[in-house]
Amino acid sequence: MSTTFDPEELQGLDLPVPTIRPRRLRANATMRRMTAEHRVSVDDLIEPLFVVPGTNVRQEIGSMPGVHQLSVDRAVEEAKDAQALGIPAVILFGIPPEKDETASWLARADGPVQRAIEAIKSAVPNLLVIADLCACEYTSHGHCGLLDVDGGIDNDRSVELLARGALSYAQSGVDIVAPSDMMDGRVRAIRYALDADGRTDVAIMSYAVKYASAFYGPFREAAGSTPAFGDRRTHQMDPPNAREAVKEALLDVREGADFIMVKPALAYLDVLAKVRKAVPVPVAVYNVSGEYSMVKAASARGWLDEERAVDEMLVSFKRAGADCIVTYFARATARRLAKARR
Ligand code: PBG
């Protein structure tokens, strides 16, 4: 039997002749620009900053080339730079001078995050300041809440601690608090605590959908928050579950979340799309440390083209429905977008 292709045979197929040729819309860069269904804008980007005690500290994080731990004074500089590039918001993480069992530094007015909020809001008032809210950077055991007698996490006492932390950030002038601990009922408690103190303008960006992920590895080096024992699987979500993500998101919207966050990003684009359909609030996605570091590591070896990989990754978040993108590539991307416009 001959396997030679005979073009005549095409005529016999019951298929339309290609009068519709999708390639026409891909023919050149201008056509592609005009027909792009999604694009990343600087308005979508949120830049993470890691704040440490001291002054004039700018210490690169080994596993995250180009990302630094910053003292408050240097964090202000980076915030100014972000604002100059048109980035609307930064999200702050704090590494306290001391960690203990009860996360004492979490709700202190002189904590690194509280001081950074004040300093950034006074230097760049129009830049939105978001504060990540979790106990894991503040506890000696590295867990996201307070421990009970059996070494498990005491959900309800942890929620009280988070509400106190949220209040303390609000009193320092934060625009948005972002609880990332995954305790049950914390959005409701935080909303209640903020409102009781007259802080009705402070918004809540809830990490409603946060998976127990290997992709947080480099962050835990940055924040010194690797659990001393055990893991986070009893509170962070199990990777096989997507229906449960919708449940978490809807619950947090009911409790008063103004934004819903999905995290990580790349391995959870299906979840992002589902959550986007289910909730009537803006959805943020967190392009996490491991996703940053793997692109950085591969491109440092010449195995990936960094800029193209980043652009492709970020636009996939828009395609899946993200309204805002937290990414360590925020400033690099903002710079590139500004150049492309010129
Ligand atoms: C918890 C928190 C984590 C991240 C953001 N908030 C770490 C964790 O849950 O272990 C991860 C961010 C990243 O990996 O970039 N405070």
- Please write the tens of the pLDDT for every residue from 213-236: 999 999 998 888 888 888 899 999
Query: Residues of the chain with pLDDT > 70: what percent?
Result: 99
130 CA distance to ligand 1 centroid (A)?
14
Task: Write phi, then psi, for 251 (nearest 5 degrees).
Answer: -60, -45
Active-site residue, selected from the candidate residues 99, 210, 274, 296: 210
CA 234 to chain CA centroid, Å, is 21
Active-site residue, selected from the candidate residues 263, 274, 296, 318: 263
What pLDDT was estimated at residue 340?
86
Tokens coding 287: 């392009």
Q: Is 52 exposed, middle or buried (0-12, 13-18, 19+ CB in 10 A)?
A: buried
Contact predicate 179/206, CB 8 Å: yes
- Domain containing 164 equals 38-341
What pLDDT was estimated at residue 2?
58
- Best mutation site among 61, 92, 134 for ligand 1, i.e. most ligand atoms within 8 A of its Cβ? 134
Tokens coding 211: 């998976």
Tokens coding 325: 């993108």
Task: Write phi, then psi, for 137 (nearest 5 degrees).
Answer: -80, -15
Q: Is residue 92 part of a domain?
A: yes
CATH code of the domain covering residue 282: 3.20.20.70
Angle between helices 306-320 and 289-300 (to 10 degrees): 150
Task: Write phi, then psi, for 74 (nearest 5 degrees).
Answer: -75, -30
Residues with CB under 6 A from ligand 1: 132, 134, 136, 180, 216, 219-220, 288-289
- The structural domain count of the chain equals 1
3-state secondary structure at position 240: coil
Q: Is residue 26 part of a domain?
A: no
- Please write the tens of the pLDDT for every residue from 248-273: 999 999 999 999 999 999 999 999 99
CB within 8 Å of 187: residues ≥ 6 apart: 179, 204, 206, 208, 252, 255, 256, 257
What pLDDT was estimated at residue 221?
87
Rounded CA-CA distance 88/44 in Å is 8
Contact predicate 259/202, CB 8 Å: no
Average pLDDT of the residues of the chain: 95
Contact predicate 217/290, CB 8 Å: yes
Predicted confidence (pLDDT) at residue 158 exceeds the cutoff of 90: yes
Q: Is residue 4 part of a domain?
A: no
Distances from the Cα of 173 to the Cαs of 40, 164, 166, 168, in angstroms? 29, 14, 11, 9
Distances from the Cα of 148 to the Cαs of 54, 72, 155, 156, 286, in angstroms? 33, 34, 9, 10, 30
Q: Is 285 exposed, middle or buried (0-12, 13-18, 19+ CB in 10 A)?
A: buried
The candidate with the shortest Cα–Cα distance to 257, out of 150, 334, 166, is 166
- Best mutation site among 216, 221, 292 for ligand 1, i.e. most ligand atoms within 8 A of its Cβ? 216
93 CA distance to ligand 1 centroid (A)?
9
Q: Is residue 183 part of a domain?
A: yes
- Please write the tens of the pLDDT for every residue from 62-92: 999 999 999 999 999 999 999 999 999 999 9
219 CA distance to ligand 1 centroid (A)?
6
Catalytic residue list contains 121? no
What pLDDT was estimated at residue 16?
77
3-state secondary structure at position 124: coil
Catalytic residue list contains 296? no
315 CA distance to ligand 1 centroid (A)?
22
Which pLDDT band, with edges at 50, 70 and 90, does 5 fall under?
A: confident
Q: Is residue 1 part of a domain?
A: no
Q: Is residue 121 part of a domain?
A: yes
Q: Is residue 185 part of a domain?
A: yes
Q: Is residue 25 part of a domain?
A: no
| DSSP label at residue 262 | E
Rounded CA-CA distance 265/327 in Å is 10
Phi-psi region of 267 (alpha: psi -120 to 50; beta: other; left: phi over 0): alpha
